[in-house]
Amino acid sequence: MVEQLGRSGIEVVDVYASYDNHLALESVSFSLNSPFYSLLLGPNGAGKTTLIKVLVGLLKPLKGRVSVYGFNPLTEKNSLSKLVGYLPQPGTSRPSSFIKIRDLVAMGYLSTKRPPRFVSDEVEKVVSDSLRAVGLEDLADRYLNSLSSGELHRAIIASTIARSPRLLLLDEPLASLDFNSKCELAELLLKLHRDRGVDIIMSTHEITHCAYFNPVVILINRKVLAYGSMREVLTVDNLRKAYPSITEVSGLTILAEDHAVKR
Ligand code: ADP
């Protein structure tokens, strides 16, 4: 059941989206009431990226209603862009390697200001606050091409949070990170959520890193198969709907990805 949230959250009601004749989302409905930390979970091709694109107004649904803090992403993009930090899949838009982390973050902040734009004390403060929030203050003068994947992710997140978004929408930010970096990034997002009140929607194939704080999970495979707290959603029956090839070994249900669920 979708709540009427208005400006206090996100509502998606009976949304369909397609590419040419291929239906990528079918009758998708859910609501998230702020504050939320939510995971979009589903196999490859489930429509996670498509749903994120609908939420940021990059894709027009065939039908249905989408409200992000009371704004229509298609017709009120400018108002919404001030509230939403969108991080596409890593590698989709890599910033220039020849700038320093501090300049990337300053550019993030200055993008919210009208020209002429100067690097003032205020900008320096936002840069150092944002870098502290992601644990990169000691690397502020490093060039992007000298960073590991995990550090680059954190630098991009710092440049996004410098704009003080209300919502971070991250498309598979954990992909291509090693196990420790995945844990660190999930932890960092939780800290932003708890300390700064940033709402989070993250598409992912992996949930182990987030299991201990029991986030909201939206399990999709073109349709919403289940949504609610992770502990409610991650039942064998629900997972089997999304991942038909799961198998059971010694009482554990094993997915092709990283989830193991006890019966
Ligand atoms: P996910 O992010 O869960 O892997 P996507 O949203 O990327 O899934 O894709 C959902 C479906 O839509 C897939 O079948 C995919 O092949 C298709 N699709 C995605 N983008 C395009 C596109 N630009 N043109 C045609 N089909 C697309």
CB burial of residue 44 (10 Å; 0-12, 13-18, 19+): exposed
pLDDT in tens, 38-47: 999 999 999 9
Fold for the domain defined by 1-83+165-232: Rossmann fold (3.40.50)
Q: Up-side HSE of residue 143: CA atoms within 13 Å toward CB?
A: 6
**Which pLDDT value is given to residue 57?**
95
CB distance 79 to 94 below 8 Å: no
In DSSP notation, the chain reads: -----GGGEEEEEEEEEEETTEEEEEEEEEEEESS-EEEEE--TTSSHHHHHHHHTTSS--SEEEEEETTB-TTT-HHHHHTTEEEE-STTSSPPPTTSBHHHHHHHHHHTTSPSS----HHHHHHHHHHHHHTT-GGGTTSBGGGS-HHHHHHHHHHHHHTT--SEEEEESTTTT--HHHHHHHHHHHHHHHHHH--EEEEEES--GGGGGG--EEEEEESEEEEEEEHHHH--HHHHHHH-TT-EEETTEEE-SSS-EEE-
How confident is the model over 227-252, as a mean pLDDT? 81
> Which region, left, alpha or beta, applies to residue 243 given φ > 0 means left and ψ of -120 to 50 means alpha?
beta
CA 137 to centroid of ligand 1, rounded, Å = 37
Residue 1 has pLDDT above 60, yes or no: no
Q: 46 in ligand 1 pocket by Cβ < 6 Å? A: yes
98, 146 contact by CB (below 8 A): no
Q: Is 221 in the pocket of ligand 1 (CB under 6 A)?
A: no
Which pLDDT score is estimated for 260? 52
Q: What does the pLDDT read at residue 256?
A: 44
Report which ligand 1 atom has the smallest distance to the Cα of 51. 6
Ligand 1 atom nearest 20 alpha carbon: 25
18 CA to middle of ligand 1, Å? 9
Angle 127-129-131 from CA coordinates, rounded to 5°: 65
Residue scoring higher pLDDT (235 or 26): 26
Is the CB of 31 inside a 6 Å radius of any atom of ligand 1? no
| pLDDT tens for each residue of 102-113 | 999 999 888 877
121-138 pLDDT, tens digit per residue, is 788 899 998 998 888 999
Q: 19, 21, 53: which to mutate for ligand 1, most atoms within 8 A of CB?
A: 19
Q: Whose CA is nearest to atom 25 of ligand 1?
A: 19
Q: State percent of the chain over pLDDT 90.
A: 49
Q: What is the pLDDT of residue 96?
A: 74
| CA within 13 Å, CB half, 3 | 12
Q: Which residue has the higher pLDDT, 32 or 149?
A: 32
Asked if residues 109 and 123 have their Cβ atoms less than 8 Å apart, the reply is yes
Domain boundaries, the chain: 1-83+165-232, 94-164
What is the Å distance from ligand 1's center to 60 Cα? 14
C-alpha 21 – ligand 1 centre gap (Å):
12
Q: Residue 255 pLDDT more than 70?
A: no
